[in-house]
Chain A
Amino acid sequence: MKYSYYPGCTLTTKAKDLDAYGRASAQALGFELEEIADWQCCGGVYPLGSDEIATKLSSVRALHEAREKGQDLVTLCSACHHVIKRVNDDMKNVEDIRTRANNYMQLEKPYAGETNVLHFLEVLRDRVGFDVLKEKVVNPLTGKKIGAYYGCLLLRPGKILAFDNPENPAIMEDFIRAIGGEPVVYPYRNECCGGYISLKEKELSKSMCDTIMESASGFGAEMLITACPLCLYNLNKSVEEKLPVYYFTELLAEALGVKEEVDRA
């Protein structure tokens, strides 16, 4: 199976791990991530103003290219996923945005939200299947108590992202189980880490991350996993009860026995 793949800017620089472990795991699981040619930054945040078009175009370009190849579009970064999924929803359901975006794009066939946008975790759940993943694990993370940190971007707004139950998600917990670990459920796994606010309001972001960390470690987590480079950065700035934070792909690669390969490369 081949998917169009949109890495996003952070995954080519500060979050290379998230990307490299993801690609290696995909290979080990038998699917291919074909990087979109000349992709452009998604902008990091979804433009909320209903009259904004230009800031949505980079997503439309990626979506369009995936459609032309007849492939689903896969993302790893939570932020890219959020932005592209929501822009795709606009293109599908908001006539005004669709018309105006297509006016800019001048495509042969106008884009109307045909591409299916999947997060890597959704590929694991819905395409590969956690059962199959479990069978392919050579290095189970037995005994590891892992807290999933979802953050906001993957889950909300629930109706558009349609990723999982936004208030009580299970996909990452199921993932942790599949790679042999023990998921730790804690209530702040879907609360915000502070996001972009940490650039200027470092204290605010820190206190939010402290709450998350305290809650997770209070329920017995030994480490956290995330899909978002910004969440990882913010969580690492936490002062209280500091737990190690990993990209979920790193643990996946480890469980699949391909981590060392990547590290050597």
Chain B
Amino acid sequence: MISTQLPAIVLLLTLLSAPICSMIRNGDHAWKLAMFAVWLSVAAAFALMSQVWGGTTLSYHMGGWPPPWGIEVRVDELSALVLILITLFGALVISALRESLRTVMRSHRHSLYYATFLLCMAALIGITITGDAFNVFVFLEISSLSTYALIARGRDRRALVAAFRYLIMGTIGATFILIAIGFMYMVTGTLNMADLAQRLPEHADNKVIQASFAFFTVGIALKVAVFPLHYWLPNAYTYAPKATTAFLAATATKVALYVMIRFIFDVYGVEFSFSQMRLDMLLIPLSIAGILLGSMTAIFQSDVKRLLAWSSVAQLGYMVLGVALLNTSGLTSAVTHMFNHAMMKAGLFLALAAMIYRVGSSNLRDLAGIGRTMPLTTAAFVILGAGLVGVPLTAGFISKWYLVSAALDKGWLPLAALLIISSLMALAYIAKIVDAAYFQPVPDQHQNVRDVPVSILTPVWVFALLTIYFGIDTRMTAGVAERVAQALLSVAS
């Protein structure tokens, strides 16, 4: 029975433990509950992946009503992969959360913090598995609201402004998506995504659908932080509480990207999105601009958190570019990189959080010599950083390899060269950190710094080891991604 109910269970585990968490006064107990719930949902996510492995699709009817009347939950390999992404990386971050919160927040607030965290996770899970367009909007809002609250909890007062800006941008984006959904509904009379996909092609010339597509693209681009709508991201990531950044960087934009892929390929259809609306003409230049601008800006940052945030802008550019290139390698790269980058960035931000935990700042000058004072944390950081650069045998290499192959498959040599150059830029900003960490003297006030407690160190190292693992065994990442890419593209041809 459990196996058939899994799609609901994976969501409910986190969604239901959130209110219970909020009621527990004692932060430690709340944490234990949260841990229990998220690790169970990790198990559920893997169980789902094993059910859909090979390309089957699960359909679960909420309330027992068949679609399109009721709301359908659909799990295929792509959503299962994203589920693992959310639950696994979220669980790792939560594991480190208790220790890292201890220094920044009064204990009775912890439970609320965990509850918000769980809500955000639950919402992202909800978005991932739903098969109903309007339901996407509902869960998108839960995730957004919890994200705003989480960001606003940052220590710097600029966190508040960052959160507010994100709230405004995010709400506009969400409302745009709502308009897009309304337009689709207007023309087709249905909200079920699979049903929409069937009914939309005959309306491809309808101006309403075209407008719907435009609204959707702008709205989701805001959420994905596609250049030039990335404006909210660097500040939000920089000023958010340190562990929160790790979680957000891993999940929020990735799930938005997932929604983008779902709608572009599955709902609107490749034919419409690319042949008719020429989405690639728009996305390719924008993503390239994002890659270059993000990498360039990252190089010149002296605050590591901000540096990593800008690097995220660039890395998201890679993923969008992968989508826009519209061939199997490109899409494989986008999906793989979605997973890999989530893992590496979460790990990097978590490692950085560990450093801030000890040093109290993420400025390069304070991190000087940290390779000597916190050798284990820094070593993990270097591995993850290598992944970001795309060093072979790390996960980052796999996704970049596919992306460059995609560019070469198209015969676009300059683009491939550009990607290599941007990798060099990534190398430059990671090298900058490594240089500070290992080859600069430890500032006097940080002489007594030592490695963080095991409870933070373990998740950091799990991220680092996973980065290597997924650089070697790619059945679950690139393997799945390739099948997904073929499936998504074959709908058109």
Partners in one complex: no
Chain B residues near A (Cβ < 8 Å): none
